[in-house]
Amino acid sequence: MTRPLISLLLGALALAGLAAPASAQSDRTPAIDIAWNRFYNYDGIVALCERLASERPELCRLEYIGPSEEGRPMPLLTLNNESTGAEHTKSAMWIDGNIHGNEVQGGEAAVYAAWYLLERYGELPAVTELVDERVFYILPMVNPDGRQFWFTDPNTPHSSRSGKRPTDNDNDGLFDEDGPDDLDGDGELVTMRKQVEPGTGSYRLHPDDPRIMQRVPNDKRKAWGADWVLLGQEGFDNDGDGRVNEDGPGGYDMNRNWPAGWMPNYIQYGAGDWPFSYNETAAIGEFIAARPNIAAVQSFHNAGGMILRGPGSPTRSDFYPGTDRQVYDAIANDGEGILPFYRNMVIHADLYTVHGGFVNWTGEGLGIISFTNELWNSEQIYSFGAEGNPFEQGERSYEELQHLFDDLVMLGETYVDWHEVEHPDYGTVEVGGFRKMQGRTPPAFMIEEMIHRNAVFCLFHAAQMPKVSVESVQVDDGPGGSKIVTVSFHNERWIPTRTAAANNKNIGRPDIVTFAGSGITVVAGGPDADRFDLADFDAVEHEPQRLLLDGGVPGHGRTRLRWIVRGSGDFTVTLDTQKAGTVVASGSL
C-alpha cells in the first residue's frame, strides 16, 4: 500500500525548497509567539483563542457556544479562508479536547492545531492547502468547568473528570456533599495511609524506599508483619453516612452523554438523564448537527497512547462496514508512525465498553470518520537505555519508575512526601503521593512534542477528507443521432464523499449529480458507467438528469456517470455533495 502521508510531505518539502522559506527550522521566530511548554487554565485557553482570532482575522473567527453548566462561555475557533469559499462549500474537520476536565492537554493540542495552521499558512504548502481548501472547527475545552476546577483546586491526576452540575451520586437527596478534602491545606490531593499493629495491615513499606507501599498477600501478613493500611484519597466522611468521598463535585461523564447506543446511568455510569442533557454536550450537538459538511472528527483525551475508533460496544459493529474500516486503518496506521508510543485500537475491543461516547455519535449517528486520541503514554517517562522498555523488564513496578522519573528527571517536582495529618475519623494518618501533574500529563518539556504530533495527526486526517475533481468529460456519438456523455469524478483522498456507514444507515443525503444544458434533451442516464463499453451503465428509470449517488465518490476512487442525450450546445454536470462541496464539469456537444 502506498503511504499517502509520505508523498504528501515529500511534496510539501519539495515545494518548500523551491519557495526558499524565509526561515530555516532551527532559528525561525514565530509570528504568533506562544509558549507550548506549559498548560493553561480556562482563562489562559480563552486568551490564546482570542489572540489567534485577532492576529489572523481573515482566516480565523472566534465564537462562544454554551455556556457550560457553571456559566463559562466555550470558545470555538473556525478556521476558514472566506476568499476561497464559504464554510458550507468545503469539507470541514471538528477537533475538540478536554471533555474530561482532568484530561487537560487536549485543550492545548486543539489550540496548537489552530495555531500551527495559522502560523505556517503561506509558508508550508501542505498547511496552505488545508487552510484554503478545508474548514476547521476547533473547540479546545468541551468541559471548561472541569478544567478550571482541576487547575485551581486540589485534585489528583484522575479527579475532576466530570463537569460541575451538582449530582446526587449516592442517592441520598444531597448533591456533591461528600467529596475529597485537602486535609492539610497544602493544595494537593494525595493518598492517606496509616500505620497499624504489625500483622494487622495489608501493606508494608518497600525495604529500599519507604515512600513506596508494598501490598502483602493475605497469607503473608502475619509472617511479614504488615503494618500499614491505605485509606484512599485524602478526605473524610463529610455527610456522616459512613462512606468517604462518595459524592464529590459533579459525578458524571460527558463522554457517555451522546445519542449513539446511549444507555441510562444504571447501565452506563455517568450517562446523564438523557443524551445531550448537559449544557456542553447540547451546545456541541446543536453546532455539529447544523454542519453536515463536517467530514472528519478528532477528540483529544488522555492518556495511554491510543488512536481509538468505535464501536464502543460490540453490538454496534455494523456501523463500521469494511470500506469504512479501510479508511480508518489507512489514517490510523500512518497515525502510529506520526505518534510513537501510540497504537491503533478499537474502543470496545481494546479498551473497554463505552455507551454513548462522543466519537460514537459522530461515527455511528452522523457517519463521520472519527477518532479519539489518548494523549501521552507513561512509557515515555523513563528509559533503561539498552535494556529496552522498563515495563517489559518485570523487575520494577510502575510506581518505582515514577519515583526514578521524579527524582532524576523532575528533581522532586511531582511528588509530595508522606507527612502526618490529624484525620477526624481515623486519628493520625500520613498523606503523600504523586501530584496531579504526574501520571496522565507529560512534564512541561514534553508537552510541545506531544501536542505537535497529535495536531499534525489531525492535519493528516483533515487532508484525507474527500477532494473531488473532474477527471474526464467524454462525448461520443451514439446511434440515431444521439450523443453519449461520460463524466468521471475522482476523489484523490481516503475519505469518501459519503461513508458506507452513512449510506447503510440512511444518514444525510446522497450526492446529487445534475445534467443541465439548454437545447439538450436527456434520454437516459445513470451511474456505474463502464470504462470501455458505452452501453454499460445503470440507467435510472426516473429523472436521468438528476442522479442520486448513495455511495458518493469513494476514497481514492472515482464515480463515472453516463447520459444518452440529444441536441447540441454546452452542458454542465454538477456534483453536489454534503461533505465535499460542489464540483462542476462542463462540455459541449
Partner 1 sequence: MPALPLLLLSLATALPLVATADDHEPPRPPLTRHQLDAHFARSAAAHPDLVTRFTLGTTLAGHPIEGLVLAAGEAPLVDRAGLLVIGGLDGRRPGDAAVVVALAERLLALPADELATALDGKALVLVPRVNHDGTGALLGEQGPVHERRGNSRSDDADRDGRRDEDAGNDLDGNGVITSMRIPDPEGEWVLDEHDPRALRKAKRSEGERGTHRVAIEGLDDDGDGEANEDGGSGVALDRNFAHGWPEHTAEGGAYPLSEPEAKALAVFLHAHPGLQGVLVVGDQDTLVSLPGEAKKVDRGGWRNAIRSPLDGLLKEDVATLKEFQRRFNDALKSEEEDAEADENEDDADDADSDINAEAEDHAEGDADDEDGAEDDDGEDEAESHAEGEGGSDDEDESDADSEDDDAKDSKDAGPKKHKVKAGSLVDGSFLAWAYHQEGRWPLAVKAWEPPTKFPKDKDAKSDDAKSDKGKKGGGKPGKQKKDEPTNDADSPVPAAVLAWLDDEREGNGFVPWTAFDHPEHGAVEIGGLRPGLLLDPPSDAADALADRLAPWLMDLLAALPSVAFESLKVERKADGLYTLSVALVNSGVLPTTSKLASETNTLRPVRVRLHLPDGAQRLQGPEQVLVDYLEGAGGRQEMRWVIAAPARTTLRLSADADTTPDVELEIELP
Q: What share of the chain is helix, strand, coil (3-state, %, to 5)?
A: 30, 25, 45
Site track for partner 1 across 329-368, x = CB under 8 A:
------------------------------------x---
Kindly give, in sequence order, each residue whose CB lies less than 8 Å from that of residue 485, ignoring residues fewer than 6 positions away: 473, 474, 475, 515, 562, 563, 565, 571, 573, 587, 589
- C-alpha to C-alpha distance for 56 and 74, rounded to whole angstroms: 20
CB of 267 to partner 1, least distance (A): 6
- Evaluate whether 220 touches 237 at the Cβ level (below 8 Å): no
Q: Is 21 in the site for partner 1 (CB under 8 A)?
A: no
Instruction: Give yes or no for a contact between 579 and 367, defined as CB atoms under 8 angstroms apart.
Output: no
d(CA 122, CA 303): 34
Closer residue to partner 1 in complex, CB, 140/510: 510
168 contacts partner 1 (rule: CB under 8 A): yes
Rounded CA gap, 352 and 158, in Å?
Answer: 17
Distance CA 410, CA 577 (A): 52
Give Rg (Cα) of the chain. Answer: 28
Q: How far is CA 556 from CA 4, 493, 565, in A?
A: 10, 5, 29
CA distances (Å), origin 512, targets 228, 517, 576 = 71, 16, 5
> Residue 482 CB, nearest distance to partner 1 (Å)?
22
The least CB distance from residue 20 to partner 1, in Å, is: 47
CB of 285 to partner 1, least distance (A): 7
* Minimum CB distance to partner 1 smaller for 6 or for 584: 584
Closest approach of Cβ 360 to partner 1, in Å? 11
Q: Of residues 66, 154, 249, 275, which one binds partner 1 by CB under 8 A?
A: 275
The residues pairing with 472 across neighbouring beta strands, listed in sequence order, are 488
Residue 274 touches partner 1, criterion: CB under 8 A: yes
Q: Note whether 263 binds partner 1 by CB under 8 A.
A: yes
C-alpha–C-alpha distance, residues 192 and 318, integer Å = 47
Decide if residue 584 touches partner 1 (CB under 8 A).
Answer: no
Segment interacting with partner 1, rule: CB under 8 A, options 341-349, 369-377, 429-437, 542-550? 542-550
Q: What cell numbers appear for 534 in the block?
A: 458505452
**Contact residue for partner 1 among 1, 20, 25, 173 (CB under 8 A):** 173
Interacting stretch for partner 1, rule CB under 8 A, among 7-15, 269-277, 329-337, 423-431? 269-277
DSSP state of 317: G
Cell of 261: 447506543
Which of residues 171, 218, 389, 518 is near partner 1 by CB under 8 A?
171
Instruction: Tell me the Ramachandran region of residue 261: left when phi exceeds 0, alpha when psi lies from -120 to 50, beta otherwise.
Output: left
Q: Is 425 a residue that touches partner 1 (CB under 8 A)?
A: no
Identity of the residue, 16 or 512, whose beta carbon is nearer to partner 1 in the bound complex: 512
Which region, left, alpha or beta, applies to residue 96 given φ > 0 means left and ψ of -120 to 50 means alpha?
beta
Q: Dihedrals φ, ψ of 256, to 5°? A: -125, 15
Residue span binding partner 1 (CB under 8 A) among the ranges 140-148, 268-276, 484-492, 523-531? 268-276
- With binding defined as CB under 8 A, does residue 262 bind partner 1? yes
Does residue 83 touch partner 1 according to CB under 8 A?
no
- Which residues between 474 and 513 bind partner 1 (CB under 8 A)? 505-510, 512
Q: Which amino acid is at 517?
A: G
Task: Name the one range near partner 1 by CB under 8 A: 266-274, 368-376, 454-462, 553-561.
Answer: 266-274
Query: Starting at the edge strand that comes first in sequence, how are the strands of the sheet with 228-233 ordered?
Result: 213-215, 203-205, 228-233, 191-195, 427-434, 415-423
Which of 232, 264, 388, 412 forms a contact with partner 1 (CB under 8 A)?
Answer: 264
* Cα→Cα distances 530→62, 480, 559, Å: 48, 21, 10
Buried b (16+ CB within 10 A) or exposed e, 277-298: ebbbbebbbebbeebbbbbbbb
273 touches partner 1 by CB under 8 A: yes
Min CB(550)–partner 1 separation in Å? 8
Residues paired with 420 in a beta bridge: 430
232 touching partner 1, by CB under 8 A: no
Binding map of partner 1 across residues 386-405, x = CB under 8 A, - = no contact:
--------------------
Q: What angle do CA 383, 386, 387 make, to 5 degrees?
A: 75
**Cis amide prior to 67 (ω within 30 degrees):** yes
Minimum CB separation of residue 242 from partner 1 in Å reads: 6
Choose between 275 and 587: whose C-beta lies nearer to partner 1.
275
Count residues near partner 1 (CB under 8 A). 35
Q: How far is the CB of 559 from partner 1 (least distance, A)?
A: 17
Hey, what's the cell of 544? 436521468
User: How is residue 303 annotated by DSSP?
Assistant: S
Q: Which residue in 19, 32, 289, 408 binds partner 1 (CB under 8 A)?
A: 289
The least distance separating partner 1 from the CB of residue 548, rounded to whole angstroms, comes to 6
- Nearest-approach distance from CB 250 to partner 1, in angstroms: 17
Near partner 1 in 562-581, by CB under 8 A:
576
Closer residue to partner 1 (CB): 257 or 402: 257
Instruction: With contacts defined by CB under 8 A, name the span among 428-436, 470-478, 526-534, 536-544 that binds partner 1.
Output: 536-544
Q: Which is nearer to partner 1, 45 or 502 (CB)?
A: 502
- Which residue ranges make up the site for partner 1 (CB under 8 A)? 168, 171-173, 239-242, 259-260, 262-267, 273-276, 285, 289, 365, 505-510, 512, 541-543, 548, 576
